[in-house]
Structure 1
Amino acid sequence: MSRAPSLAWRLALAFALVCAVVLGAIGFYLYRSLERELAFRDDQALLGRVEQVRILLQDSDSLEGLQERPRLYQNMLGNRESLLRVLRADGTALIDINPAAEQLPELPALAADRRAQRGDLRDWRAADGTPARLLAVAAQGPGGEPLHILAGKLMIEREQMLASYRWRLYGGVGGGALLALLLGLGLVRRGLAPLRRLAGAVAGIDRRSLDRRLPLEGVPEELHAPIEALNAMLARLEDSVQRLSQFSADLAHEIRTPLHNLLGSNQLALGQPRSQGEYEELLASNLEEYERLIRMAENLLFLARVDNAQQALERREVALDELGEQLVDYFEALASERGLHLDNRLHGQLCADRLLLQRALGNLLANAIRHAEADSTILLERHDGAGLCWLAVDNRGAAIPAEHLPRLFDRFFRADPSRAAPGDSGGLGLAIVKSIAELHGGRVEVLSGDGRNRFAIGLPPVERCA
């Protein structure tokens, strides 16, 4: 795959192109201004010379005297580019100055009493393509003799001057663009130095140094926002890696416990002959550990699918009061064993995935039953606030230590590991609740104090599905 030009070269070329366009525009303006100024001066000089010739012809004693003194009008014309032809009425030439022997055209003459203007001048080209300006006027000689004057000037010197100026202009624009390219390349490379330092700093960060952050000192203000975004990404990455490492350790610990139980019980059973009842008891114990491992595997698989957005939501209208009654019926037997009463106060409709919502609320109820005070009431209620519809499970029980509150919904976290029961979710129940809430675009919260604990899941308050 071919490499694209570097950013430095692109910016330098763009800078050089802009400079070339600006210099070219300025040069074109100056060139046109010079061309117009030279044309104006040449035209004014030609008009002045025509008037001088008119006066000279009219004030001369005789036309024959002018013919005998040609230096008089030749010096007045000034150079070999000038053309002058004075004709009598019969067409004979009185004065004929034409150094290049050009075949001059026939032009209508202006009246003798009219002063020539620039608009009366005519463009003409010589046989070799040299541009010229011509003017034909009528004049009077001594004694009122009618004369025809044809004056002009070849623009050889002016064309040479403009051509030289054009080449200098081309060279100036090209040299300026090249200089702009070199200067721009140097300035851009110097300006991109913070990016190179930033790239070096990023390259030096690996999984063992995720706590490092990119410095803002000496960095242009335009790069502050990207660097802050990178630092925030590094912070999230560091947190994710730490959580992953902790998750791996917790997972190994959680799996090790039932495996050790299975290994120990089987080794003990095989240590000496046992009765049929003892073997049956061993198999029942093993079955509980297997079920625990299966629940853990299923919960982990569910969390993995949620994290990778592979769990598709099947949103539909859920009657919350009906859902609450089903949960109360399901957990009533378990609650009765501890003398607990379940009170369903859910109401209204909610657009959500019914199975996932049922699972989340079921986990919260199971958690409340496990930790509520005996002979108390567990409330299942709804309230709206903060732009969310909150479905809460409230129970009376010992206050949760403040240091544990931020971690209650972490995976494998238990505030009291010794209280694990056969139906325990392995520290994944509340993590599943949090994942379900986030999958719906909501969140979770926990409040503990004054002898009550309240776990709630907040979902967007969409009562009817589209």
Structure 2
Amino acid sequence: MSKSIAWRLALAIALTCALVLSVIGVFLYRSLASELAFRDDQALLGRLEQVRALLHDSDSLEALQERPRLYQNMLGNVDSVLRVERKDGSPLIAINPHQQPLPDVPAIAVGQAPKRSDIHTLDAMIVLAGVAQGPAGETLRVLVGKRLDEREHMLSSYRLRLYGAVGLGVLVAFGLGLLLLRRGLLPLRELAQSMRGINPRSLDQRMPTDAVPTELREPVQALNAMLERLEDSFSRLSQFSADLAHEIRTPLHNLLGSNSLALNQPRSPAEYQDVLASNIEEYERLNRMAENLMFLARAEHGQRPLHLQALDLHEVGAELCDYFEALAEDRQLNIVNQLNGSLMADQQLLQRALGNLLANAVRHAQAGTTLHLQRRDDEGMCWVGVHNFGQPIATQHLDKLFDRFYRVDPSRAQPGDSGGLGLAIVQSIMHLHGGKVLVRSDAQGTLFELGFSKLENSV
């Protein structure tokens, strides 16, 4: 439950409602308390004025003392207090139902209108004192007051109702929020149910995007894109496994066949030497394949560190031309080194990448043509390429040339080839350098180019 999105959001909604309702409740409570205090104060101010007027208009104090009910009815309830006393402090009128000790507060002068600031709050009572003029001009002191028990009881009852309303509102908000969130998250559960049905045999399935809410459409589209990448990677992996098994089976089959023939009957030392020489060729082929696969695995996992240095491209091209000169002459080919300038790269990896491209070009170029090592620059990139004239590569093969063990030639194997891993190694080398590989093939020839970013190179 603690990890449930619905519960967490419902709790957040409930807490938000609690905060909002509490703020509203405090505002209403303070407004009510302020209104009640204002009304009590206004009543007390009016009461003092009424008593003053009554005392001033009376014929005698004795007549006032004979009619105490008049004052009790004027006060209206048992929480009100009235005390009228002479200048010497002797009481003239004393109405104090609870017999509460009355505080001694300053009295406002005769003729001065009372204000709210003149009211004093003492011992759960509000009191107001003023000087009045009685019959025959006698100076009297009037004290009016009211106990706050009724007000406090009303506010206490109101507080309890607010607490109950806030609590009930929080529970209702939590329950409705949880219910609505669970209904709102139903598309996620349906999506999870659909995903459970996807396995390696059904990677072609895609999540529907028409019926999902707008907020989930983008994640579902990203999920479908991921499934597409997984399908492509799984397909490539399956093809790689099949190609690897085929590539290994061929030399193993050759080794088993030659050894079986050699053991069927006695052979001369020269014949055994021929068998061993043939076996060595197959072992070398397996060894090259293992080394290439090991290099690809290390490159993909970043275990092959780069040793960047400023390289003279013309010198790199010259060394490669010298290395492939004999092979090119055998196939009646010329190699022209047009590389120039400098490049920041790993020397061994650059030589290996260009060497694989040159070997591929020599193998597929038409006799009597010329191979070119060339360079071009555009905005932000430096391109180093190998161009040869030969049979154009069909468009459907271009995107697969850098896959492992992929060959355009259906015969799959030719003497001295790289086991179908040469171009895959070139691509891995460029990934290590943060660059890319481009290929173009048409009637004007085939061009493989290695792209290096100028931001990381000095030209």
Determine if contact 1:288/1:422 at 8 Å carries over to the other structure.
Answer: no
Task: Tell me the TM-score normalized by structure 1.
Answer: 0.96
Aligned-pair RMSD on alpha carbons?
1.4
Q: Secondary structure at the match of 1:407?
A: coil
What residue in structure 2 maps to residue 139 of structure 1? 132
Task: Tell me the TM-score normalized by structure 2.
Answer: 0.97
Structure 1: segments with no counterpart, 5+ residues: 126-130
What residue in structure 2 maps to residue 76 of structure 1? 74
What residue in structure 2 maps to residue 378 of structure 1? 371
- Which residue identity does 2:154 align to in structure 1? M
State which of 402, 424, 435 in structure 2 corresponds to 1:442: 435
Cα offset for 1:462? Answer: 4.4
What residue in structure 1 maps to residue 49 of structure 2? 51
CA distance in 1, matches of 2:165, 2:456: 74
CA distance in 1, matches of 2:385, 2:363: 16
Question: What per-residue deviation string (whole Å, max 9, x for no partner) do you get for residues 98-118 of structure 1?
Answer: 111111111221111111111
Cα offset for 1:326? Answer: 0.7
Determine if contact 1:444/1:457 at 8 Å carries over to the other structure.
Answer: yes
State which of 106, 116, 119 in structure 2 corresponds to 1:118: 116
Q: Secondary structure at the match of 2:454?
A: coil
Alignment of 1:44-443 (within 5 A): 44-125=42-123, 131-385=124-378, 387-418=380-411, 420-443=413-436
Cα offset for 1:146? Answer: 0.8
What residue in structure 2 maps to residue 13 of structure 1? 11
What residue in structure 2 maps to residue 128 of structure 1? none
CA distance in 2, matches of 1:370, 1:331: 11
CA distance in 2, matches of 1:203, 1:364: 45
Question: What per-residue deviation string (whole Å, max 9, x for no partner) do you get for residues 30-72 of structure 1?
Answer: 1111111111111111111111111111111111111111111
Determine if contact 1:292/1:422 at 8 Å carries over to the other structure.
Answer: no
Aligned length: 458
Percent identity of the aligned residues?
62
Range 168-177 or range 437-446, more displaced: 437-446
What residue in structure 2 maps to residue 29 of structure 1? 27
Question: What per-residue deviation string (whole Å, max 9, x for no partner) do you get for residues 73-109 of structure 1?
Answer: 1100100000000001221110000111111111221
Cα offset for 1:464? Answer: 4.3
Range 438-447 or range 250-259, more displaced: 438-447
Determine if contact 1:398/1:451 at 8 Å carries over to the other structure.
Answer: no
* Structure 1 runs, 4 residues or longer, greater than 4 Å off: 462-465
CA distance in 2, matches of 1:446, 1:440: 18
CA distance in 2, matches of 1:227, 1:427: 37
CA distance in 2, matches of 1:67, 1:78: 18
Determine if contact 1:350/1:462 at 8 Å carries over to the other structure.
Answer: no
Cα offset for 1:386? Answer: 5.7
Determine if contact 1:134/1:153 at 8 Å carries over to the other structure.
Answer: yes
Determine if contact 2:45/2:115 at 8 Å carries over to the other structure.
Answer: yes
Cα offset for 1:213? Answer: 1.1
CA distance in 2, matches of 1:358, 1:181: 68
Q: Secondary structure at the match of 1:80?
A: coil
Q: Secondary structure at the match of 2:354?
A: helix
Determine if contact 1:350/1:463 at 8 Å carries over to the other structure.
Answer: no
CA distance in 2, matches of 1:292, 1:209: 37
Are the structure 2 counterparts of residues 462 and 80 from structure 1 closer, same or farther at C-alpha, using a change threshold of 3 Å?
closer
Determine if contact 2:333/2:370 at 8 Å carries over to the other structure.
Answer: yes
Cα offset for 1:451? Answer: 4.4
CA distance in 1, matches of 2:280, 2:402: 28
Structure 2: segments with no counterpart, 5+ residues: none
